[in-house]
Amino acid sequence: MTWSATARGAHQPDNTAFTQQRLPAWHPLLSASIALPLFFCAGLAFIGLGLGLYYSSNGIKELAYDYTGDPGTGNCSVCATAGQGRAPPPPCSCAWYFSLPELFQGPVYLYYELTNFYQNNRRYGVSRDDSQLSGLPSSLRHPVNECAPYQYSAAGLPIAPCGAIANSLFNDSFSLWHQRQPNGPYVEVPLDRTGIAWWTDYHVKFRNPPLVNGSLALAFRGTAPPPNWHRPVYELSPDPNNTGFINQDFVVWMRTAALPTFRKLYARIRQGNYSAGLPRGAYRVNITYNYPVRAFSGHKRLIFSSISWMGGKNPFLGIAYLLVGSLCIFVGFVMLVVYIRYQDQNEDEEDDE
């Protein structure tokens, strides 16, 4: 009995107001005079914010073009037909012509959009080796099993980068040309391809392996590119600061999307005479058509878009705030009607007594 009491006392909390939960506490009792104004104020705040977001999103200009190549939709249909059933598809080019009657206010962002592409598939999403992508030499030679069947090549060489995400890298390319005067020559519009990836991805998550004798190609010696790639990873760009695992296009693609319809940033238009936007005139987009999408009933779109303080065009957030605000005001009115009705009923009962 003595030992039991001693042991129980050793594990007993101190006799303080905090440990014994004797601190003073506030227990609010919500009355109608408190709850109803809260609902109405919250509803008005949500509706005001929703209207701002909605009209800001509608003020963003977009110019889109579907270049999938469905029959009768433009000259890209020739490329889609030529590459159907062939892996990899043969090189093919097409063009998109459009005119702007007025200035397309900048800054202008160029996106590509894919539909019916499920990057959120669980098996697809884990098919990568983050240690390899961080430049770890041991992972470069020994990819993780999650990368299978894109772990080793047919010759037994480790694939770098391994996995289904890297193997399906988007490889269409675009160039923009501007005709300033009717019947005049086309002038190429500079596309800024730098800084299109997330800062944390480019500076933290993705790293090239250590150079061997100052050469990135020697660092990747003994590895094989993914089956769908036409060139090894260290030849993605002639710029040494934009090749290998730190290539901007590659880093952007490796951040998988949550929905089957998604867009990814390709370039910004903010240099030279186009820093204020795209002037009026005729334009041509040269498209190098490489990426097959018709096999999975997908579509490819090219999108020019401006931005606002809230980012790109996305009316969903504004609509969501409007719905929540309207619901709060509706619930507030319902509670007000119930409160008035039962308050009158209670007063009548008190008068009868």
pLDDT one-digit tens code per residue, 340-352: 887 766 655 555 5
Residue owning tokens 């006392």:
9
- pLDDT at position 247: 96
pLDDT at 72 over 70: no
pLDDT at residue 82 is higher than 80: no
Residue 47 shares a structural domain with residue 72 = no
Residue 342, domain member (yes or no): no
Integer angstrom CA distances of residue 30 from 46, 247, 326, 329: 22, 57, 22, 18
pLDDT (0 to 100) of residue 349 = 58
Q: Indicate whether 18 belongs to any domain.
A: no
pLDDT class for 145, splitting at 50, 70, 90? very high
User: Running DSSP on this structure, what letter comes out for residue 311?
Assistant: B
- Greatest alpha-carbon pair distance for the chain in Å reads 105
pLDDT at 88: 65
- 124 shares its domain with 254: yes
pLDDT reported for residue 14: 83
Q: Are residues 256 and 316 in the same domain?
A: no
Same domain as 214, residue 182: yes
Quick one: 91 and 236 in the same domain?
Answer: yes
Query: Do 54 and 299 form a contact (C-beta atoms < 8 A)?
Result: no
Residues paired with residue 271 on neighbouring β-strands, in sequence order:
none
Nearest of 308, 332, 328, 331 to residue 52 by alpha carbon? 308
Based on the domain organization, do 148 and 201 belong to the same domain?
A: yes
For residue 153, the Cα-to-chain-centroid distance in whole angstroms is 30
Tokens 């009768």 found at: 72
Residue 333 sits in which domain range?
36-60+309-337
Query: Does residue 184 surpass a pLDDT of 70?
Result: yes
Cβ(62)–Cβ(305) below 8 Å: yes
Q: Name the least confident of 128-142, 214-228, 290-304, 307-321.
A: 307-321
Total domain count for the chain? 2
Find, among 261, 325, 317, 321, the residue nearest to 60 by Cα: 317
What is the per-residue pLDDT for 10?
65
- Among the ranges 71-80, 222-231, 338-347, which has the highest mean pLDDT value? 222-231
Q: How far apart are CA 311 and CA 270, in angstroms?
A: 16
Q: Are residues 248 and 326 in the same domain?
A: no
Average pLDDT, integer, range 323-337: 93
- 3-class secondary structure per residue, 223-271: CECCCCCCCCHHHCCCCHHHCHHHCHHHHHHHCCCCCCCEEEEEEEECC
What is the percentage of the chain residues whose pLDDT exceeds 70?
92
Whether 325 maps to a domain, the answer reads yes
- At 6-64, the pLDDT tens digits run 555 667 788 888 888 888 887 777 777 888 899 999 999 999 999 999 988 888 899 99
In a domain, 19, yes or no: no
Helices (H), the chain: 2-10, 32-58, 76-82, 122-125, 130-133, 137-141, 164-167, 199-200, 216-219, 248-254, 315-352
Q: Is residue 244 part of a domain?
A: yes
pLDDT value of residue 314: 82
| Average pLDDT of the chain to the nearest whole number | 89
Question: What pLDDT was estimated at residue 183?
Answer: 85
Spatial contact of 244 and 234, defined as CB atoms under 8 Å apart: yes
Query: Is 250 within a domain?
Result: yes
Instruction: Check whether residue 124 and residue 206 sit in a common domain.
Output: yes
Residues 68 and 141 in one domain: yes
Assess whether 180 and 72 both reside in one domain: yes
pTM: 0.81
- Kindly report, residue by residue over 293-328, the tens digit of the pLDDT: 988 999 999 999 998 877 788 888 899 999 999 999
Q: What are phi and psi of 314, to 5 degrees?
A: -160, 90
| pLDDT at residue number 85 | 61
- Looking at the fold, whether 142 and 41 belong to one and the same domain comes out as no
Q: Does residue 120 form part of some domain?
A: yes
Residues 282 and 321 in one domain: no
Give the separation between CA 340 and CA 337, rounded to whole angstroms: 5
| Residue 128 forms part of a structural domain | yes
Burial 156-170 (b: 16+ CB within 10 A, else e): eebbbbbbbbbbbbb
